[in-house]
Amino acid sequence: MAPQLKQQLDQAELRLKRLERMVKLITGLSTAIAILTAIGSGLLTYHQYRESVERARVSFSYTLLPALLPDGEHFYLKAKLKNLSTRELTVLGITARVWAGDKWKDTSKVASQTNDVILSDNLIDNCPLNLCTTEERGGVFRRRDSDDLDDMTLESTEGESELTLGPYPITDGQLKNGLWITGAAYVSETEGGSCTVYTKEVPPSGTFPYLCEEKYKDALGCYTKSQCSKAVSTAVFYELRKSDGSLQPR
């Protein structure tokens, strides 16, 4: 074979090998891209699934905001509830706790610190008569049926639902020392069923009724193991701003 022809064949073979390596590299990159795309799609699907699961869980918020009336002797509370899930939620009841000055702590209990409470109001939808008596409809310690909560639902597509609580009396001394305001809201829906008010035992004055899961409502002490859903209004300290007579968070 002529040297010139051999040289041309060698060059052609070299170019062919280079082309084969290039094809393999492109094929490998295409496969890697396809795998990464599949992984990305799978992760997206998984996150979308997890998000839908989380959204289907019972989740809602509750906030209490105070406002002092012009007479300086009464205040009211604006209660705001918002559904954060995709489920319709039915409100069982709400609470409002107003504590004097520096008396509130994470462990504070209305039943054991009655002298430190300015207000403990508990509103229940269709409250049984043995739990919501005439005597507890007024004063510092209240547990009462509320027409505002009659069949109240929180829709997933709606904005905040608002209720106005009060007016409640307050003294100059209480305003001077400031107020801790907190509370909780309860809905009947849970992750595994529903909850209801337990009627066989009356709780301490000025506290919310015990709640039990529907399937255990006839069992004594069922409320000690219940997993009923609630949202807490974060405790905030408010003090009187003399310049405009309003209650402002510290």
Residues 94 and 63 reside in one and the same domain: yes
Residues 45 and 68 reside in one and the same domain: no
Residues 41 and 63 reside in one and the same domain: no
Residues 135 and 30 reside in one and the same domain: no
Q: What is the 3-state secondary structure (H, E, C) of 156-192?
A: CCCCCEEEEEEEEECCHHHHHHCEEEEEEEEECECCC
Question: What's the structural domain count of the chain?
Answer: 2
Report the pLDDT value the prediction gives residue 3, as an integer from 0 to 100: 63
Residues 175 and 79 reside in one and the same domain: yes
Residues 178 and 219 reside in one and the same domain: yes
Residues 42 and 154 reside in one and the same domain: no
Neighbouring residues of 64: CB distance < 8 A, sequence distance ≥ 6: 77, 78, 79, 80, 96, 181, 182, 183, 233
Residues 195 and 111 reside in one and the same domain: yes
Where do we find the tokens 């998984």? Answer: 46
Bridge-based pairing state of the strands 141-145 and 74-83: unpaired
Q: 4 is in which domain, residue-wise? A: 1-56
Q: Which of 10, 36, 56 is the last residue of a domain?
A: 56
Beta bridge partners of 59: none
Report the pLDDT value the prediction gives residue 52, as an integer from 0 to 100: 44
Rounded to whole angstroms, what are the CA distances from 206 to 73, 141, 221, 237? Answer: 22, 4, 20, 21
Neighbouring residues of 68: CB distance < 8 A, sequence distance ≥ 6: 74, 75, 170, 175, 240, 245, 246, 247
Q: Which of 23, 41, 56 is the last residue of a domain?
A: 56
Low pLDDT (below 70) residues in the chain: 1-17, 19, 23, 32, 34, 36-38, 40-56
Residues 91 and 147 reside in one and the same domain: yes
Residue 181 is encoded by which pair of tokens?
A: 């305001």
Give the strand order in the sheet containing 74-83.
60-68, 74-83, 161-169
Q: Which of 40, 56, 72 is the last residue of a domain?
A: 56
Report the pLDDT value the prediction gives residue 112, as an integer from 0 to 100: 82
Residues 126 and 194 reside in one and the same domain: yes
Residues 93 and 48 reside in one and the same domain: no
Rounded to whole angstroms, what are the CA distances from 26 to 29, 30, 165? Answer: 5, 6, 70
Residues 88 and 183 reside in one and the same domain: yes
Is residue 95 within 8 A of residue 121, CB to CB? The reply is yes
